Amino acid sequence: MRVAIVGVTGLVGTVMCQVLEERKFPITDFLPVASPRSVGKDITFNGKTYKIIGMQDAIDQKPDIAIFSAGGGTSKEWAPKFAAVGTTVIDNSSAWRMDNYKKLVVPEINAPELSTSDKIIANPNCSTIQMVLALLPIHRKFGIERLVISTYQSVSGTGVAAVKQMEDERNGVDGEKVYPHVIDKNCLPHGGDFGADGYTTEEVKLVTETRKILGDDSIQITATVVRVPVVGGHSESVNIETKTPFELETIIADLKATPGIIVQDDPANNIYPMPLHAHNRDEVFVGRIRRDTSRPNALNMWIVSDNLRKGAATNAVQIAEYLVENALVGANIVSS
């Protein structure tokens, strides 16, 4: 199994390598790929040292799988070139998510939709992944009418430069600024770029991607994205209005039975999800589950997950695992 990691030196690329090692993904040939300024540098994976290579070199070696985390522009340019030589691309950018001909996959929800013809597969936005996993059992049993979402997103979701900005601010260093304001000891109601309607690109992703993954364009959704001074882990307050009446106990039981979810909901003992405890974990943590007493058929939930793991790297690796386990990749294996 020949696997390329495109954007291997980035924040998500580094975690992807870590997750591949931890989960003992079956790799026979590892191809670390990065921008020209990193080509030729050494990188360690599974105890071995590899030279970072460029895009065309990787394509020429026809990997079975290429996991991209290198930005939308790079994905738009290079993913089709990998696909053209038979590689299955799993892309972590926003480039292909809303393409009508590309699958947007959270393995626990819709991996069975994948086939050998899917050569470019989109990995959803980090905030969307953790939320839809928690929404899945509710939507299947009661239907979702409307969602009101507020996110509290880690600076790591913006990238390594944003983490550096916050660390500089904490240490009194006047360094590079990624955000338009100070982020340390502050909250910025600003995720992505603002549109003419006043919503940001991160807020629009929550709307469009949720509908696509759950397969229901009728769900009414509104969102507010906030960036908070946390290094790892996104948190979300989600108000859910269902189409049919529900019992809260049933929803809690269904959440507990959903693979990948851990319910932490014991407020009397101060037990609820927090990014501090979700950091470096692959699960989605759900708590503060309670009825919305202002509306019939409505409830509130607090959802937390590590945005670099389940929100990005782990979800992508889980897609790759599904492809391998179901013999949807492997045509390009080359004997050495």
Same domain? For 85 and 232 the reply is no
**Predicted confidence band at 210 (pLDDT cuts at 50, 70, 90)?**
very high
Same domain? For 291 and 321 the reply is no
Residue-level pLDDT at 336: 29
Residue-level pLDDT at 232: 86
For 57-85, letters b (16+ CB in 10 Å) and e give: ebbebbbbbbbbbbbeebbeebbeebbee
Computed over every residue of the chain, the mean pLDDT equals: 95
Residue 270's Cα: distance from chain center in Å? Answer: 28
Task: Please say if the pLDDT value at position 330 is more than 90.
Answer: no
Domain holding 11: CATH number? 3.40.50.720
Establish if 103 belongs to a structural domain: no
Residue-level pLDDT at 331: 52
Same domain? For 276 and 135 the reply is yes
Same domain? For 258 and 133 the reply is yes
Task: Please say if the pLDDT value at position 219 is more than 90.
Answer: yes
Same domain? For 289 and 165 the reply is yes
Report the side by side order of strands in the sheet with 144-153.
220-227, 144-153, 234-242, 298-305, 284-291, 261-263
Mean pLDDT, range 190-199, rounded to an integer: 96
Task: Please say if the pLDDT value at position 12 is more than 80.
Answer: yes
Establish if 165 belongs to a structural domain: yes
Question: What phi, psi does 324 have (nearest 5°)?
Answer: -70, -50
Distance CA 9, CA 14 (A): 6
Establish if 108 belongs to a structural domain: no
Establish if 71 belongs to a structural domain: yes
Residue-level pLDDT at 334: 37
Indicate the residue type of 319: I
Which candidate in 17, 181, 190, 234 is catalytic?
Answer: 234
Please enumerate in sequence order all residues whose Cβ is within 8 A of that of 235, keeping only pairs 6 or more positions apart, or say none.
Answer: 151, 152, 153, 228, 273, 274, 275, 302, 303, 304
Same domain? For 299 and 270 the reply is yes
Which candidate in 17, 126, 139, 279 is catalytic?
Answer: 126
Domain around 291: 127-305
Please enumerate in sequence order all residues whose Cβ is within 8 A of that of 215, keeping only pairs 6 or more positions apart, or say none.
Answer: 110
Same domain? For 249 and 163 the reply is yes
Mean pLDDT, range 118-138, rounded to an integer: 97
- The encoded tokens of residue 206 equal 């929550």
Residue-level pLDDT at 208: 97
pLDDT digits (tens, 9 = 90+) for 281-318: 999 999 999 999 999 999 999 999 999 999 999 999 99
Task: Please say if the pLDDT value at position 332 is more than 80.
Answer: no
Establish if 120 belongs to a structural domain: no
pLDDT digits (tens, 9 = 90+) for 59-111: 999 999 999 999 899 999 999 999 999 999 999 999 999 999 999 999 999 99
**Predicted confidence band at 335 (pLDDT cuts at 50, 70, 90)?**
very low
Mean pLDDT, range 244-264, rounded to an integer: 97
- The encoded tokens of residue 190 equal 């600003």
126 is catalytic: yes
